[in-house]
Amino acid sequence: MRKIQTIAIAGAGTMGSGIAQVCATAGFNVMLFDIMPAMLEKARANIEKSLESLVSKGKITSENRVEILGRLLFTQVITDLKADLILEAVVEKLEIKHEFFQAVAAINTPDCILATNTSSIPVTQIAAKISNPERVVGIHFFNPAPVMKLVEIISGVQTENSVAQDCLQWVSSLGKTCVMAKDAPGFIVNRVARHYYVEGLKVLEEQVASFEDIDALMESSGFKMGPFRLMDLIGVDTNFSVTNSIYQLFHGDAKFRPSRIQQQKVDAGYHGKKSGKGFYAY
């Protein structure tokens, strides 16, 4: 059994910084890496703001906040990433994930776990060009990571069962609920939930209702967020990328067809909350 104590996370966007906060809160030393200094500064500010909010709500103390921040190292230097578990939350492009994992594999021991937070790219494809592919695994958090309890652990064709089990124990120690999944397009949650977005977009395309009314209807039916509000939170561009990936992996199955409306939002730079405008204005 591997002892997981130090964590390195690549990608200081909403997901990466959220996972970093979760790990540091659970008592782990965490390195958060990004090639862009502005992303690291934004991640630091967002984590500090999130922790301040928890202090104001009485969920943690001011002392806890200082301790959590003290466990976080923000770095642009990839050679700093020597850890027991390295988790990437970078852009959903296979070649970039390969490049990153090849770089960190070269500076870590062969039993260092290499984990991907991919939403849709098969773990087996990611592991294919990495040395010791048996230690490559999917650990898929959901946004926002500090709030959402569910985490999917995905085994690729070559993933050792012991690696998946070690990850299961580690994720459970974060206070999360784990589900084990095989390597299939969209895994479990994104495959099932894809239609929440796709069908909402089809209703909008057919002018059956406005996106505001669709959201209001779904929220009044018990959903915490309607599909358009949720796409804005996740990132319209990220959501569109995942839909495209799943559509291709299912060989163009029409039920996963990406939306022209979503494509236009992405082309216009309307990426949701992070850009100040998506389906809604922020």
Tell me where in the chain the CATH 3.40.50.720 domain(s) lie: 6-182
- Of the candidates 111, 104, 116, 97, which has an alpha carbon nearest to the alpha carbon of residue 155? 116
Tokens 């909008």 sit on residue = 204
| Predicted local distance difference test score (pLDDT) of residue 56 | 96
Return the structure tokens found at 145. 């990571």
Task: State the CATH architecture for 190-273.
Answer: Orthogonal Bundle (1.10)
> Would you please indicate which residues are annotated as catalytic (active-site) residues?
119, 140, 152, 190
3-state secondary structure of 36: coil
Contacting residues for 128 by C-beta, under 8 A, at least 6 apart: none
pLDDT per position in the chain (282 positions), as tens? 788 999 999 999 999 999 999 999 999 999 999 999 999 999 999 999 999 999 999 999 999 999 999 999 999 999 999 999 999 999 889 999 999 999 999 999 999 999 999 988 999 999 999 999 999 999 999 988 999 999 999 999 999 999 999 999 999 999 999 999 999 999 999 999 999 999 999 999 999 999 999 999 999 999 999 999 999 998 999 999 999 999 999 999 999 999 999 999 999 999 999 999 999 999
Which residue type is seen at 106?
A
CB 251: neighbour CB atoms within 10 A? 8
Global pTM reads: 0.89
| Predicted local distance difference test score (pLDDT) of residue 3 | 87
Nearest 10 degrees: Cα torsion 39, 44, 45, 48: 160
| Predicted local distance difference test score (pLDDT) of residue 24 | 98
| Predicted local distance difference test score (pLDDT) of residue 179 | 97
In CATH terms, the fold of domain 6-182 is Rossmann fold (3.40.50)
Nearest 10 degrees: Cα torsion 151, 135, 44, 11: -90
Question: What is the DSSP code (8-state) at residue 82?
Answer: -
Tell me where in the chain the CATH 1.10.1040.50 domain(s) lie: 190-273
